[in-house]
Structure 1
Amino acid sequence: MQIGFIGLGVMGAPMAEHLVQAGHRLVTVLNRAPLPEGLAAQVVASPRAVAEASEVVILMLPDTPDVARVLLGEAGVLAGLRPGALVIDMSTISPIETARFAEATRAAGGAYLDAPVSGGQVGAKAATLTIMVGGTEADFARALPLFEVMGKNITLVGEANGAGQTCKLANQIIVALNIEAVAEALVFASKAGCDPAKVRTALMGGFAASRVLEVHGERMIARSFAPGFRIKLHQKDLSLALDSARVMGMALPGTASAQQLMSACVAQGGAEDDHSGLVRALEGLAGHSLG
């Protein structure tokens, strides 16, 4: 299949590589970065040209405005979309705007799936991503062979576009609140005079055990904040969740707390740190560091 892939970043590049290894032909457009080394792809001049050459167009972009520009711009994907072509947005963006993008895609004669992913760079490289999809059963069935090349846990969450994005934001809420809980617990124990490494080991054998305590707790103690998933991106995702909650007239108090702690980290120069770096904001409030 001829696939357009726009967004060959930390996540997008390995995802695209899996598609090439599965025998698909890739078309892309470059923005600031060159073509990733070793990736076989035809490079064209614009998102419009990508769409003109492709049966399916996959987007893997940082934020809602990026998707809007690439999809709806003067030389955007919809300007060159083939009749019946499928657009799959695997970015994490606003569920509200996703519904608008899907409507515009259908008006241009195409089909649309929102299919954000979880699993980070490790999951992208290992082709073990969790993929959460919003769209019709027919469009999902059409895209499933591509999803199976990139991920393992693949779920059609709902037939309304935006369902996949809503599920991804729910994922981000859970992860963020777990990171906040682990950070609070370790800073609390450390300031009380306990060895946080031994506390973490003890907790891993009880009901508090979690993947976040295992991986991110270790990062906090070791002061290892090289990004697996950047704070600024998680901050963005929590802001999207809060925006959606405001539209629905509901409160997300824990989400708001975690978002503010991440905002504090960004303000203090930690935007590019791994999201486990949220512990630094709590250390500042406690006047005590784990390291």
Structure 2
Amino acid sequence: MNSPQVGVIGLGAMGAGMAASLRRAGHTVHVCDVRRDAAEAFAREGGVACAAPAELAAACDVVVSVVVNAAQTEAVLFGEGGAAAAMRPGSVFVMCSTVDPNWSVALEARLAEKGILYLDAPISGGAAKAASGQMTMMTAGRPEAYAKAGALLDAMAAKVYRLGDRAGAGSKVKVINQLLAGVHIAAAAEAMALGLREGVDPAALYEVITHSAGNSWMFENRMAHVLAGDYTPLSAVDIFVKDLGLVLDLARGSKFPLPLSSTAHQMFMQASTAGFAREDDSAVIKIFPGIELPGPAGQERTKA
């Protein structure tokens, strides 16, 4: 049996790595991105660049969408040149964005009306793990969708969790993951900021914490950006404005209190409105007053 034709829409930090993992697994990968040069660069290494989602969808049995949010997913599917009109009945749409779980449930129903199968499949792990095929996927969907797309999921991720036979569960688990990620980044920034305020050498603090019980993956990863004075966005401040907003929206529906999430969300909101919206999410440390942040190598420190 021939393997399904696959396409990836969105060649950002995660999508580019996922497309590369599929290519490494031997698949011919169709790609589409709003940056035409990104799709063409991928195609030069082996693959097919498409000018619009509809062109990609017409050629593929499985369409993997790796865009930022629900609004961009709507545009990919139903906007001008959108994929939904071109997808054949029985084909699969794999949605990898972090979204409101209720929106994901509704999207499954909308696509089912067109005979299109759907996998609610948010992702986690960062760009490096996406590029190496070692990321995590939190998925939910009908057995027929897994039957067609399961091997492709396994090519993109080391861990593919199947969390239910209908959309929603994947997005709920991802939202809970983002609760922890956002709170951990905020807490890491607060800890590093206190150390700077108290005159502790930041490199020494980083060394000690990363070998002690107070460490977290986010402290180890994000505070390395702070030490380097490099706020090039791998995941931007505004991503956590959005994602922690989704966390609070989900909990509000059942009147469930989330005090730490609420505080972390306010910290990212403050960083965003202070002008750091598009910087790396570690820039949340810049909201703390009266501290000198490490600058890029060879440059003086900057004062927050």
Tell me if TM exceeds 0.5. Answer: yes
- The aligned counterpart of 1:4 is 7
Q: 1:181 to 1:55 in 2, by over 3 A?
A: same
AA matched with 1:127? G
Q: 1:238 to 1:277 in 2, by over 3 A?
A: same
AA matched with 2:282? S
CA distance in 2, matches of 1:262, 1:32: 28
- Deviation at residue 249 of structure 1 after TM alignment: 2.4
Identity among equivalent positions (%) equals 31
CA distance in 2, matches of 1:242, 1:143: 32
**1:255 aligned to 242, 247, 261, which one?**
261
2:54 pairs with 1:48: yes
Alignment length, in residue pairs?
288
Q: 1:6 touches 1:58 (CA, 8 Å); kept in 2?
A: yes
- The aligned counterpart of 2:121 is 115
**1:241 aligned to 237, 247, 253, which one?**
247
**1:21 aligned to 2, 12, 24, which one?**
24
Q: Which consecutive aligned stretches of 4+ in structure 1 deviate over 4 angstroms post-superposition?
A: none
More displaced, 202-211 or 77-86? Answer: 202-211
CA distance in 1, matches of 2:97, 2:19: 14
Q: 1:125 to 1:249 in 2, by over 3 A?
A: same
Per-residue CA deviation, residues 217-257 of structure 1 (Å, 9 max, x unaligned), is 23223322222222222222112222222223223221222
CA distance in 2, matches of 1:73, 1:224: 36
- Deviation at residue 50 of structure 1 after TM alignment: 2.4
SS at match of 1:268: helix
AA matched with 1:46? A
Q: 1:6 touches 1:29 (CA, 8 Å); kept in 2?
A: yes
AA matched with 2:41? E
2:210 pairs with 1:204: yes
Q: 1:37 to 1:161 in 2, by over 3 A?
A: same
AA matched with 2:97? S
CA distance in 2, matches of 1:145, 1:263: 39
Q: 1:54 to 1:184 in 2, by over 3 A?
A: same
Q: 1:140 touches 1:156 (CA, 8 Å); kept in 2?
A: no
Per-residue CA deviation, residues 36-70 of structure 1 (Å, 9 max, x unaligned), is 51433334453233222211111111111111122
CA distance in 1, matches of 2:172, 2:204: 37
Per-residue CA deviation, residues 113-154 of structure 1 (Å, 9 max, x unaligned), is 011111111111111111110113442343221112111121
- The aligned counterpart of 2:196 is 190
CA distance in 2, matches of 1:106, 1:140: 15
CA distance in 2, matches of 1:209, 1:61: 31
Q: 1:45 to 1:183 in 2, by over 3 A?
A: closer
- The aligned counterpart of 1:37 is 41
- Deviation at residue 280 of structure 1 after TM alignment: 1.0
Q: 1:8 touches 1:36 (CA, 8 Å); kept in 2?
A: no
5+ residue gaps, structure 2: 295-304
Alignment of 1:110-259 (within 5 A): 110-259=116-265
**1:93 aligned to 84, 99, 119, which one?**
99
2:292 pairs with 1:289: yes
Q: 1:18 touches 1:127 (CA, 8 Å); kept in 2?
A: yes
CA distance in 2, matches of 1:264, 1:145: 43
CA distance in 2, matches of 1:74, 1:220: 41
CA distance in 1, matches of 2:254, 2:143: 26
SS at match of 1:142: helix
CA distance in 1, matches of 2:249, 2:135: 26
- The aligned counterpart of 2:297 is none
RMSD value, Cα: 2.0
**1:279 aligned to 281, 285, 293, which one?**
285
Q: 2:90 touches 2:115 (CA, 8 Å); kept in 1?
A: yes
CA distance in 1, matches of 2:212, 2:255: 37
- The aligned counterpart of 2:299 is none
CA distance in 1, matches of 2:79, 2:141: 23
